[in-house]
Structure 1
Amino acid sequence: MRMGRRAALAGLVALLPAMALAHGPTRQKVTVTTELAAEPAEVWAAIGNFQDFGWHPAVHATSGAGGNEIDATRVLTVGEAGGPTIAEVLYKYDADKMTYSYRITEVAVEVLPVTNYSSHLTVKPREGGGSLVEWRGAFYRGYPNNDPPPELNDEAAIAAVTAVYQAGLDALVDRFGAP
């Protein structure tokens, strides 16, 4: 009986490398920050309304329902009128802490090569004055199986999300200035 358990354990150990290779995608994370000359309340006034994403240069239009209440929804039209859309839902909102969290409920991977995406946007006071804006997200690549095509792999997902965040934060620097 004891030999049977050892043999089974040895067989399991022998399978571990193959199991590791067979496992699917890993959740990726991106955090991008920027420092602004404006005070947090001024920055929050510009970006703290979930229903208004017009401060981001890639967003042509925002429509939605529910204001800043939990389960509020918004649809972002990207690029130009009639452009692709991204549907999102708000799941945390705290005006006092100047932060909100949302997730994408629908997006074509050709628009943003991610799945199971959630994001958090926060404005904090910066030591010495001004603001620190942090935008972070977690997601899986756009292709959920092994051997993804290059445009839907982890690197493509990380690059796309980073570019979205950086474009938005760069627009805030243009608007509010750097310290």
Structure 2
Amino acid sequence: MRMFLATFLLALAANAALAHGPTPQKIQQSIAVAASPAAVWAVLGDFAGIGTWHPDVARGEGSGGNGEGATRTLTLRSGGTLQESLDEWKADGMTYSYRMGEPDLKALPVSSYSATVTVVPDGAGATVSWIGRFYRGDTGNEPPDALSDEAGRTAMNRYFADGLKGLKAKVEGKPAP
């Protein structure tokens, strides 16, 4: 009986080690902008205004302004739609945090995400940081490559990088990248 119990417990432990769900992913990007923090925040701080500076966004629509619970719907140039809601908006700290609603795997291959953007002084200019936390598109144990952790990291990094470059170009008065 002891041998059976030991074998059963070993098998159970082995299965638990092999059967793991998704792990939380995190990305962070930042960019220096040759403008005052206030000038950067005047563009970035409008939660629904992302379509005016993010080159991947074909159209952005929002409701609720910059109040907690505000929403925005972003239609991406590559296809798909992002539904996002504002969790926290602090003008005095030049920062806001938001999260995705229902996932659209065509838009981004992630099942959920939350993000925070922040503007801080940096010499004569400003630095914008964008931090995101997310889970891959397929939360099963064996996701297809297109919905894996790597696919999620690649897509989120590209989306953040494109956005930061677009914001920099808009605030500095240069052509969009």
TM-score per shorter chain, which class? 0.7 to 0.9
Measured on the aligned residues, the alpha-carbon RMSD in Å equals 2.2
Q: Which moved more, 1:12-21 or 1:83-92?
A: 12-21
Q: Provide the rounded CA distance (Å) in 2 between the counterparts of 1:17 and 1:158.
A: 29
Query: How far does residue 28 in structure 1 lie from its aligned partner after superposition?
Result: 0.5
Distance 1:17 1:131 in 2: 51
Q: Kindly tell me: are residues 102 and 172 of structure 1, through their superposed partners in 2, closer, same or farther at Cα, counting changes over 3 Å?
A: same
Partners of 1:174 and 1:9 lie apart in 2 by: 64
Residue 170 in structure 1 maps to residue 168 in structure 2: no
CA distance in 2: counterparts of 1:143 and 1:48, whole angstroms: 32
Bigger mean CA deviation after superposition, 60-69 or 153-162: 60-69
Bigger Cα displacement from structure 2, 163-172 vs 71-80: 71-80
Question: For 1:49, which of 43, 46, 49 is the aligned residue?
Answer: 46
The TM-score with structure 1 as length reference comes to 0.86
For 1:168 and 1:9, the matched residues in 2 are separated by: 55
What is the CA-CA distance between 1:108 and the residue it aligns to? 1.5
Q: Which position in structure 2 is the counterpart of 1:23?
A: 20
Of 7-16 and 105-114, the range deviating more from structure 2: 7-16
* Pairing of 1:41-120 with structure 2 (within 5 A): 41-54=38-51, 55-79=53-77, 83-120=79-116
Unaligned runs of 5+ in 2: 173-177
Q: Name the structure 2 match of 1:148.
A: 143
Q: SS in structure 2 opposite 1:70?
A: coil
Query: Aligned runs of 1:118-137 on 2, under 5 Å?
Result: 118-126=114-122, 128-137=123-132
Supply the distance in 2 between the matched residues of 1:96 and 1:13 (Cα, whole angstroms). 56
State TM-score, norm by structure 2: 0.87
The answer as to whether partners of 2:103 and 2:112 remain within 8 angstroms in 1 is no
Residue 161 of structure 1 aligns with which residue? Answer: 156
Tell me which residue corresponds to 1:40.
Answer: 37
Partner of 1:139: 134
Deviations 1:153-173 (A, max 9, x none): 000000000000000111133
Letter in 1 for 2:62: G
C-alpha displacement of 1:84: 2.6
Cα offset, 1:13, TM superposition: 6.3
Q: CA deviation at 1:14?
A: 6.2
Give % identity: 45
